[in-house]
Each structure stands twice: as structure tokens, then as C-alpha cells.
Structure 1
Amino acid sequence: MTTPHQQQGIQSVEIGMRVLAALEEGGGPMPLSKIAAGSGLLPGKTHRYLVSLLRSGFVTQEMDTGLYNLGPAARRLGVEALRRVDEVGTASRHASVLRDRTGHTVYLALWTDAGPSLVRQDHGWYPLPIVVRIGSILPIVDSSIGRAFLAHLPEPLTAPILAAQQRRKETSQLPPEHLAEVLDEVRRTGLATATGSVIAGLNVISAPVFGPDGHIEVVIGVAMPARFDDDRDVRSIRADLLTTARAISAELGCPARD
């Protein structure tokens, strides 16, 4: 029986995948020369593949700088791959119910090689200051979703990505003792909160969802316009979110947590 590596393939497709992989590993907009170096191709050949990838929507090119980046088709493909993870399917059912109960927009996010990525958004009844795109990478320190992941993932996994975001000024660089206090509070309460730190006028409360091994799998968040600041309403939403996160964790097989 032949293995996938032994079967005959289409070389041009494999080369195109190398170009896309070079773009993905670059972590942001890249010039032709760096894409060529990353894919092991000559610049002229790399350019021809980029033209085809541009036409298909897998790559975009910035008009002002000429730099290349992953396009909407690549984003949709990546998000769909993440959606098909069982954890997301299970959490999605609960997310829509939570949206219906609270009336507010509900987010789901997974941890990726670039940081926390939004994979689902159930729109609520209340308009938000801005719509966050599916596939967006969120700031680790400033977003409640990022804080939930940061509080529960191993530091060797998060530290390089956090450092990269801070170098690019995509997230804040809090004093270590302040960040430790924030993360301790997340672990103690089971919830992370961000009030207008990413988008002015938008408050988000998030909770971690754990899998059968007790490790964090997904983060679920509720987004509210800042005008919803009544203490009773916020307490009710926090309690509902925490109950939902625990229900998803239980359905995924997570052992009971204190």
C-alpha cells in the first residue's frame, strides 16, 4: 500500500504551498525577497506563484508598500479548519444559547501559533463600536480572551508569542508584578475582564473552557457596549458566562475543578 508521500502529486501545488507556508511563518506582511528565501525559490518563480495566489484570494498585496500577506481565502480556510475541532463545535452550541439568554455578542477563541484567534462570533442585539473579524489575532495582555489563555497556558508556550506581540507593539508590556496580579485574579475568579482596553466603548468578559486533561481548550467571551454598566446586569452576565464555561468543560470531559 502506498503512503501519501509515495503517491503521485502535482508539483506546482506543492510549490504553491511552500510559498504560503513562507508567508505564514513570516508572521506579517513580507517583501518578495523574504518570501522567496523562505520558500527556497528564485524571486522570479516566487512572483509567478504569488500572482496566482493573489488571483485566488489566498494572498493580498498592500498597495502602498507592495508587501504580501495572507489573504481572505487563506483566512477562511484556517478558520474553517479550527471550526472543525470538536471543542469548537461543542462550545458553539452553548455560545448561541448564551447569546440568546443575555442578548449580547458572544465570542469563541482558540490559541494558535500567533496567539488567541477569534473563531466564532454570535452577534447580539446591541450594536458594538466595531465588529471584530473572524480570524483576528487578539492582543494577549489587553484582551480578556488573551488574559484567560495567558493565565492557564504554560509560560514556555505563551512567552515567545507574547514577546513577539510586544516587540510589534500589538499588546501592552505590563510590569511583571502587575501582570502576575491580573492573572492570579483570572485564576481565582475563573473570569477575565477588559474594559475598553482593546476597543474604546467595548467591555468583554471571558472564561476559559477546559478539556478532558484539564488543560484550557477554548475561551468564551461576552462583549457588551460600555453603557451596560449596571452592577446587577454585569453580575448576572458574569455568573451566566461562568456557568456556561463550566457546562462546556463538563461536556468535553473535564474533571470537576474547584
Structure 2
Amino acid sequence: MPMNRRANVTGDSGMPAKNQRRIRSLETGGAILEAMAAARGPVKLRDLAEAVSVAPAQLHPYLVSLRAIRLVEQTEAGLYRLGPFALELGLSRLREQDAYNEAIARVGQLAEETRMMVALSVWGLHGVTIVHVKEGPSQIHANVRVGGGFMMTATATGRLFAAFYPNAKTEAAIERECRESAGAPGLSIDMVRYRSQVEEVRRRGFETTVDAPVPGVSAAAAPVFDYSGTMQLGVTVMGPTPLIDLRQDGPIISALLRFTEGLSRDLGYGAQSSDPAQ
């Protein structure tokens, strides 16, 4: 059975070296649990032994002890999987996580890396609502402030929420903007084109805008998901158009996706079988 990652229990743990006494057997147990989590399902003893680079005979006593404390259980077919106590630990960790606080603690690093303004947004009573703004060294002439919002149809962040937030929440805001723009010169919304844009956002996982809706200001936005697959935050990097590189493989998009994917992963997000926008 293929594993997603290997853990060498006899070598360096990957942790920073410290002048503290360490219990190697606990680190070995952690490597075993990490490999089982990466397997995403019941695994054979020999496959688990290969993943952690130990002989099956050496691995078996660890599994006996892990079974005794319900971190591991054995199926009727003799395969091994994470046990109920592992689930309890995971849920306890997730209950302590908060997407907003975690993002606040990290957003300064993203602003420093990109040298751009970064805004965090959530879904509020009136649609996409800005809850935090971290200024960058590059000043922009745009009204981006805490408590303000992003339009659903004209901004990267709005289309991001349209793509990944539940449709039952976003459709009313989209329809309201369509009604308000109807008949206004140059503001009418082409819904066929808009729906196509939203589908493209869902496909590639982020959105960008160039000189819109404010001329001279461009932006990129990406979502943060929690363990249930629900979008919790939108993270938007924005700056002067001549200074912000929005190529998909450029430094801005790369830094943004590292940030959102890392935060989502720490919030428990993994492969989801359902579409959170439904």
C-alpha cells in the first residue's frame, strides 16, 4: 500500500536540536502514527514497517503498546489504523484552533514576504467583510479598511467567496449586486461571463484582478479552509499594479498559496469529497 511520506525513526527527527533529554521511543511512536495518518486508511504491518524504515518484528511491540492506549486499532482483516483516542486528540486540537487568530498571528510574515498590503476577510451579515488589514511598504489608493467589504462581482475576493463559500449564503449578495447595477452605464454584469470566472477560480484555487475595481491597484486572493472543508477566510494580497507580479508561478501567488495552504492544513483541512460551495 503506498504511503504519502516516509518517516525514518532511527535518524534525525526533523526537530531543531536542543540541549534537552529526549525519549527516542516516543519519537518512534510519533513517526508510526504520522505514517498511519499519511496512509489515509488501514495498512498492512509490512507496509507500515517500510514507511517508517524498521523491521516488522521491531515495529510490532510499538503497535501493541499503541493499541493498549487506543491510539491504534486492528481490523478484523489484521490491518492497522488509527484508534479512537487518536480521534479524540485530533478533535481536541481542532477545537483549540481558530482560523482568525491563527491568521492574525501569521499575516505579518506574508506582508513582509510580499511587501504588499494583506487583508483578511470573512462572510458577514452584509457579505464579504474585511476583519484585518496589514499594511505593506507599497501604498495603494484604495479604501480598504476593517469593517469594509469587497464586492462579490467586481473583486478577486468576492469571486473567491462565490467559488468556495456555500452558495446558499452568497447567491443573495450576488443577485443584489446585479439588481443594483442593472441599467447603470458600464456597470451591468454579464452573468454568463461571471459564472465562468467563478468556475475558473474554483478550478485553480485562487483569483486575481488587474486594475479593478480600482485603477492602478491589483490583487490576488486565496481561501483558507477548516477541517470540515468549509471556507473560513479569504486572504487578499494587493498592491500597485506596476509592482505586484500576478503570474501564477510568480513570487506573490506562490507566497499567498503557501500561506493559505499551510494555514488550512494546520486547521485540519485535507482531501474533501464534497464541494464546499454546494
TM-score category (smaller protein): 0.5 to 0.7
Choose between structure 1 and 2: higher helix proportion: 1
Structure 1 residues 128 and 234: alpha-carbon distance in aligned structure 2, compared to 1, 3 A threshold:
farther
Select which of 129, 139, 143 maps to 1:127. Answer: 139
2:25 is matched with none
Select which of 237, 251, 258 maps to 2:252. Answer: 237
1:11 is matched with none
Select which of 212, 223, 241 maps to 1:226. Answer: 241
Structure 1 residue 239 displacement after superposition: 0.9
Structure 1 residue 233 displacement after superposition: 9.8
1:204 is matched with 219
Select which of 106, 111, 131 maps to 2:118. Answer: 106
Contact 1:95 1:220 in 2 (8 A): no
Structure 1 residue 101 displacement after superposition: 0.9
Alpha carbon RMSD of aligned pairs, Å?
2.5
Question: Percent of aligned positions with the same letter in both sequences?
Answer: 25
TM-score under structure 2 length normalisation: 0.57
Distance 1:106 1:253 in 2: 23
Structure 1 residue 153 displacement after superposition: 1.9
Distance 1:155 1:253 in 2: 23
Give the match's secondary structure for 1:182: helix
Give the match's secondary structure for 1:185: helix
1:213 is matched with 228
Distance 2:248 2:117 in 1: 15
Distance 2:188 2:259 in 1: 31
Contact 2:121 2:131 in 1 (8 A): yes
Contact 2:119 2:132 in 1 (8 A): yes
Structure 1 residue 173 displacement after superposition: 5.0
TM-score under structure 1 length normalisation: 0.62
Contact 1:113 1:161 in 2 (8 A): no
Structure 1 residue 232 displacement after superposition: 6.5
Max Rg structure:
2
Structure 1 residue 112 displacement after superposition: 1.2
Distance 1:118 1:205 in 2: 15
Any residues of structure 2 matched to 1:1-258 within 5 Å, and which? Answer: 86-169=98-181, 173-228=188-243, 235-256=250-271
Contact 1:250 1:256 in 2 (8 A): no
Structure 1 residues 147 and 230: alpha-carbon distance in aligned structure 2, compared to 1, 3 A threshold:
closer
Give the match's secondary structure for 2:260: helix
Give the match's secondary structure for 1:188: helix
